[in-house]
């Protein structure tokens, strides 16, 4: 079996990132830290990626780190370095497309980084475990810049019967209300002609989107 | 007077009608034609100051009288549009109730018949909402890589809705993005609106 190093770069890049090498170093120094605590740190790093934005979880993870620091008399800085290293490993592993990360190659790479077997097992369970799809989804959808998108879209179709200028009118009147994610509430009238244009363009866009998968240039991105 | 559709006009109309009756017919025809083209447009004046001065010379009337006359003719068009009046009835009204000169009445009714559809259309589509959708632009982008993930293939539709503020005529650009699922949901909503429109129109 050819060594995978000849055809695939390790998941962490060409050189060992400083974060990870520091983490491994600290782990060696703090060998008084029981594996249970390490296990807890690993699961906390998974939680860190999943709930990046919820402030409650980050303060509680800091509290947990403080508790460990007291119980096992290890300085909080060292614990932070270790925790940071774990989160970094997870992020790097999630970066390439899901199909690229093979179980044994991943474990091999982690061994090259000098992590202990138990820790490697812990990482492996996270990345190939139950929350795998959720993790990949969050990394792709949440952690990128986004323009505001529509949170809700309400519409009103009224019929104008009479106006100040016409006694018999019978004209449809369309109103839209957009709530966008940047907290704007836009209420506006849509003339029927514009509505038809909008509908036509949306159908056209959907067709183009379907065709994106078939475009030659993008076949290079097949994962 | 009570059966005329112009019965809520004031005495200004009466004096204007007197001036109208004294006008040369060809000039009157052109005047009415011009007013018919512009009736119902929002925020547009029918004649500029220069044109009003020229009319003053052409008709031999003071600017105030001319303005009054133009307003009266416009008012008559708007009232006709309001009631969607038939040409024959309009002609009778003008001649019998409003003391219009017969030829002038014929000219007026002719212009009304020719332009009625457009005037009503313009009045129908005039907006009173504060904002209306004036234009839609879009692009389809495909995200291929990002900071948190190398190699993605993510088509994204970016819409730019141009909203026009009716008072200030200012255009506000609203940019939103849609991924595939969101775009489908949006399209489904548009389809349901269309089906409602269809049932309404039948």
For A153-170, write each residue's pLDDT tens digit. 999 998 888 888 888 878
Nearest CA distance, B195 vs chain A (angstrom): 11
The pLDDT assigned to A53 comes to 46
Q: Does residue A216 lie within any of the structural domains?
A: yes
Q: Does residue A4 lie within any of the structural domains?
A: no
Mark yes or no for CB contact A155/B193 under 8 Å. Answer: yes
Distance CA B161, CA B189 (A): 17
pLDDT band at B43 (very low <50, low <70, confident <90, very high): low
The pLDDT assigned to A2 comes to 59
Residue range B52-67, pLDDT digits in tens: 777 777 777 777 877 8
One domain, residues A128 and A164 = no
Q: Are A176 and A185 in contact (CB under 8 A)?
A: no
Helix runs in chain A, H state only? 18-29, 35-50, 55-71, 76-94, 103-112, 117-127, 132-141, 192-212
Task: Dump the DSSP string for A116-165.
Answer: -HHHHHHHHHHHTSTTHHHHHHHHHHTSS-----EEEEEEEEEEE---SS
A97 contact residues in B (CB cutoff 8 A): 149-152
Checking if the pLDDT of B191 tops 80, the result is yes
Distance CA A187, CA B184 (A): 22
One domain, residues A177 and A118 = no
One domain, residues A116 and A209 = no
Cβ neighbour number for residue A197 with a 10 Å cutoff: 15
Q: Complex ipTM, two decimals? A: 0.77
One domain, residues A54 and A114 = yes
Domain that holds residue A214: 150-221
pLDDT band at B10 (very low <50, low <70, confident <90, very high): low
Distance CA B193, CA A108 (A): 57
Q: CB distance from B41 to chain A under 8 Å?
A: no
What is the token pair recorded at B139? 């692009």
One domain, residues A212 and A121 = no
The pLDDT assigned to A131 comes to 80
B127 contact residues in A (CB cutoff 8 A): 189, 191
Q: Does residue A43 lie within any of the structural domains?
A: yes
Q: CB distance from B117 to chain A under 8 Å?
A: no
pLDDT band at B2 (very low <50, low <70, confident <90, very high): very low
Q: Which helix (H) or strand (E) holds B27?
A: helix B25-38
A160 contact residues in B (CB cutoff 8 A): 124
Residue range A54-86, pLDDT digits in tens: 445 555 777 777 777 777 777 888 888 888 888
Mark yes or no for CB contact B132/A91 under 8 Å. Answer: no
One domain, residues A55 and A125 = yes
One domain, residues A173 and A89 = no
Q: Does residue A9 lie within any of the structural domains?
A: no
Mark yes or no for CB contact A157/B200 under 8 Å. Answer: yes
B 47-106 → A contacts, CB under 8 A: 78, 81-84
What is the token pair recorded at A192? 């029927």
The pLDDT assigned to A54 comes to 47
Q: Which candidate from A187, A202, A212 shows the least CB-CB separation from B183?
A: A202
Last residue of a domain, one of A108, A143, A178: A143
Domain count, chain A: 2
Of A22-36, B2-16, B188-202, which gets the smallest average pLDDT? B2-16
pLDDT band at B9 (very low <50, low <70, confident <90, very high): low
Q: Does residue A50 lie within any of the structural domains?
A: yes
Q: Does residue A5 lie within any of the structural domains?
A: no
One domain, residues A133 and A59 = yes
Higher pLDDT, B116 or B6: B116
Q: Which residue of A has its CA nearest to B131?
A: A188
One domain, residues A137 and A33 = yes
Nearest CA distance, B112 vs chain A (angstrom): 15
Distance CA A204, CA A194 (A): 15
Share of chain B above pLDDT 70, in %: 92
One domain, residues A30 and A120 = yes
Cβ neighbour number for residue B23 with a 10 Å cutoff: 18
One domain, residues A96 and A198 = no
Last residue of a domain, one of A91, A110, A143: A143
CA distances, A25 to each of A48, A108, A115 (Å): 22, 19, 10
Domain definitions of chain B by residue range? 9-125, 133-201
B142 contact residues in A (CB cutoff 8 A): 212, 218
Share of chain A above pLDDT 90, in %: 9
Question: Which candidate, A177, A118, A218, A35, places its Cα nearest to that of B143?
Answer: A218
3-state class (DSSP) for residue B1: coil
Is the pTM for the entire model greater than 0.80? no
Last residue of a domain, one of A143, A175, A192: A143
B151 contact residues in A (CB cutoff 8 A): 96-97, 221, 223
One domain, residues A44 and A95 = yes
């Amino acid at each position: 079996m050819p060594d995978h190093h000849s055809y695939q770069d390790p998941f962490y890049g060409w050189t060992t990132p400083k974060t990870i090498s520091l983490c491994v170093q600290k782990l060696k120094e703090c060998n008084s830290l029981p594996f249970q605590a390490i296990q807890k740190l690993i699961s906390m790093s998974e939680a860190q990626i999943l709930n990046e934005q919820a402030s409650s979880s980050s303060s509680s993870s800091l509290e947990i780190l403080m508790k460990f620091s007291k119980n096992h008399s290890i300085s909080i800085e060292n614990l932070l370095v270790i925790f940071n290293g774990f989160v970094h490993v997870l992020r790097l592993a999630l970066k390439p497309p899901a199909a690229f990360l093979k179980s044994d190659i991943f474990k091999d790479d982690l061994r090259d980084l000098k992590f202990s077997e138990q820790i490697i097992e812990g990482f492996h369970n996270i990345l190939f475990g139950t929350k795998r799809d959720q993790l990949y989804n969050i990394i792709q959808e949440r952690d990128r810049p986004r323009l505001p998108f529509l949170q809700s879209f309400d519409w009103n179709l009224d019929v104008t019967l009479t106006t100040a200028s016409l006694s018999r009118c019978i004209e449809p009147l369309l109103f839209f209300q957009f709530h966008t994610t940047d907290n704007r509430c836009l209420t506006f009238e849509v003339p029927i002609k514009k509505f038809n244009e909008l509908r036509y363009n949306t159908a056209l866009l959907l067709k183009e989107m379907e065709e994106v998968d078939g475009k030659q240039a993008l076949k290079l991105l097949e994962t | 007077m009570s059966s005329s559709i112009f019965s809520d006009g004031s005495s200004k109309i009466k004096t204007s009608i007197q001036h109208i009756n004294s006008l040369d017919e060809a000039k009157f025809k052109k005047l009415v034609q011009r007013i018919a083209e512009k009736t119902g447009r929002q925020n547009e004046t029918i004649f500029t100051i220069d044109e009003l001065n020229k009319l003053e010379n052409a008709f031999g009337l003071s600017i105030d009288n001319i303005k009054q006359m133009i307003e009266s003719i416009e008012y008559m068009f708007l009232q006709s549009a309001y009631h969607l009046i038939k040409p024959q009835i309009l002609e009778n009204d003008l001649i019998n109730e409003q003391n219009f000169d017969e030829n002038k009445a014929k000219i007026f009714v002719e212009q009304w018949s020719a332009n009625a559809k457009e005037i009503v259309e313009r009045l129908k589509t005039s907006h009173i909402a504060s904002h209306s959708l004036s234009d839609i632009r879009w692009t389809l982008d495909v995200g291929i890589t990002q900071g948190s993930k190398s190699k993605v293939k993510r088509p994204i539709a970016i819409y730019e809705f141009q909203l026009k503020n009716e008072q200030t005529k200012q255009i506000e650009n609203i940019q939103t993005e849609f991924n595939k699922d969101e775009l489908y949901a949006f399209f489904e909503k548009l389809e349901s609106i269309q089906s409602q429109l269809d049932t309404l129109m039948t």
